[in-house]
Structure 1
Amino acid sequence: MAAPSSNTDLTEEDAADLQFPKDDGLVTTNKITADCINCYQSLNDRFILCAKCDLCICCSCFASGVEFDSHKNDHPYRVMRYDFPLYEHSDWTAQEELLLLDGLLSLGNYKNISKKLTNRTPDDIKSHYEYFYLLKKGHSSLPEISSHENSEFINPAVPFRFRVVDIEEPPRYAATSASYHSVAGYNAARSDFELDYDMNAEDLIANLDFVDSDDPNYQILTDLQCALIQIYNWRLRERLRRRKIIRNHGLILLRKITAWLHRYDSTITQPVYNRLTKFMQCHNGQDFEYLMEGLHRAGELKIHIARLCDFHKRGIKSLKEARLYLNLKQQREENMRDLKTFYANPIFNFKFRGLSSDGHHHHGVSQPAKKRGTFTPLDVIGMPGLEKLLPKERDLCRNCRLAPLSYLELKATLIGENNKLGYLKLLTARRLLKIDVNKTRRLYDFLVDEGYITKG
């Protein structure tokens, strides 16, 4: 048998030494990808890394000697492998790590990533990513997320309306105070109302009388009376249940609860929190307020994210730049208001220098035509209902100074009238909306151009 040649290809042992360095944990190249740069096939256990071009090539393309762009088949190369654990105390291979990171950028969902990593569940993927990347347990050279004062959100203290004492004890006001008259007949000493719920419940048993045992219908009459008493007890339980809800949620002072709900106008919005108040019967006062405050906080975060997205579109990349932008924007609006005031003053406006002291024009100087006023675009970022609008609709609301929720109501009104008649005239739109005629015209033309309504 002939001795093996010294210039043969790399053996399996040599290839194993050329894989990612296990002691460092991270590869030095920046061009490691999950696909072949030539045929775009997924790289499996082994692949070739061109040491000169810093490109990944699958074994099939390498064996065929393919050449493309500046890459030649005589370039020096390294045999790379994916089937080894990248981090200590982990059974995830380097290939799985690349699929995870690539999936986070392209898919952004643990459930979708699990379709690529068939042997990993979404919970496994989530726990692995949080432990090795977010908590930086994988390697010390992983990039750290800078934390400073400008990037931290300060959670404000939640101003809960209720205290334990307020819930356990009913309000007791002096008989001469205004608060006493605002409780609408509530007697704190008796914890009772002058006009209670289901006031006629006692009429159900008011005419009941004893039944003679010698009566041939004694059993039937007795059963009927017992059924009436059971119905009466059910109505009493409903009355007590409603008293408990009113007491635990502070609904005795209706103005107070109404004013409290207005806190959520810009986050939860009025139609939603009016529906949520029905769930008061399922919670006590503090638990329901925890629910409302949680939804309120989620709404605030949505508004904050919307503002950050708007900053990002404008090329702003930090909160410091955002604060500078807002300050400059405010200064510009103030300057524009001052400029309008200056133009409106005949003393300082050069167009009115031809006016005499009595207000008449000199000969040869004509009075300038009065220009129509221009409106500053409305800042709709963070307003309720903004997420329901398309980009064109947002521009319309901004330029016409329409709140998103108002626009949606006006739009629904016009579309509903159009569906009834099959068409809609501008005069009819003005009669229905009863707003500024210029806004009505722009809204009408927009809905016609977008195909929501048919022009009459």
Structure 2
Amino acid sequence: MSVVSDDPFGKPPCRGCSSYLTEPYIKCAECGPSSVLLCLQCFTRGFEYKKHQSDHKYEIMTSDFPVLEPGWTAQEEMALLEAVMDCGFGNWHDVAYQMRTKTKEECESHYMKNFINNPLFSSTLLGLRKTKDSHFADGAIPFRSSDDPPRPTFDSMLSRDMAGYMPARADFMEEFDNYAEWDLKDIDFVDDDSDILRALKLAVVDIYHSRLKERQRRKKWVNLLERCYPKEVQELYDIMRRFARVVGPVEHDKFIESHALEFELRREIRRLQEYRKAGIKSFCSAKVYERVKRMREDERRKRTMLCDVLQYIQDGKACQQWLTTGRRSAPPLNLTGLPGTEKLNEREKELCQVVRLVPGAYLEYKQALLSECKRQGGLRLAQARALIKIDVNKTRKIYDFLIKEGSITKA
């Protein structure tokens, strides 16, 4: 059975009393593969467990002995390395505070002497680095200094991943000068700033703006590299892209650009032939011709859309209204079953149907207008519009209706 420990140093507890082991402690030299560890108290009592017998050979586990130099035990060496890892190299005051057995001068001198300037450790690290470099060189792609370095193919997924570019978003995973905003996070303009301090803060803001301009300039340049051709040339570009690795990037770009230039020339020739056929002899007349042509095409498109709509309308009156006004008026509102309809007279019902206003809302608006008119001794249309927050045309119709009925008076 394996023993799991919560000890921060990773040692399992004592097999006899389950207490945390403190040095020195006893390790059985015959039991395996999992070693039997005992504290001194359990060892003196002759504790036995399964195959472990009290007469087995044993080892005394302790780190209270010097390793690199006298005065520094193995336990203190491990504590020093752990303190440097926790506090950081150079923070000797914190390192000494964590160790509690050595001063900061002793910690610094011992670490620099035995771990930084020690020729044994430096030669060992150098050998490990050479071994790593040789292992990397065996698996690397060989190339001579006179050749171009190996690179991924143009427009491949590997090339985009290496550059951190996302073509779907036309943006990079990380911005150029990605930490430019850090210089502004602690800047705060207050009223009691001196002139020099305020000028310094403004200078930092100007520097940040220049960084943003450079970032935008680089993005614009990258977007230019994302070629956008006309439809005919784009289809050819997509088909020929698979052959780019065969002919090379320069020849491939020349091939595509030449076809794009040919397409532009053919389109320009067709446009000039159209001008000549229409009797145009100057570029000023050509501009007027293009503007009139666009207006004529827009008018033709509107007529086509209107004819498509009217061919499905069977009502002749509605068709005539479409031709005169361009749209149909909304049908009257059906008041059947709406709450508050029984409180309206015939003229109010007709108003709600035409204005398309539910009876409950009309009664609320009417009560608000009557109360305001009674309070002020009269009511103007502007006051009614400020009181009722609905369409101004509906407010005018309700206002005129109540004036006609005598419910309210003008101011």
Superposition TM-score, scaled by structure 1 size: 0.23
Superposition TM-score, scaled by structure 2 size: 0.25
Whichever of the two has the greater Rg, that structure is 2
Hey, which of these two has a bigger chunk of helix by percent? 2
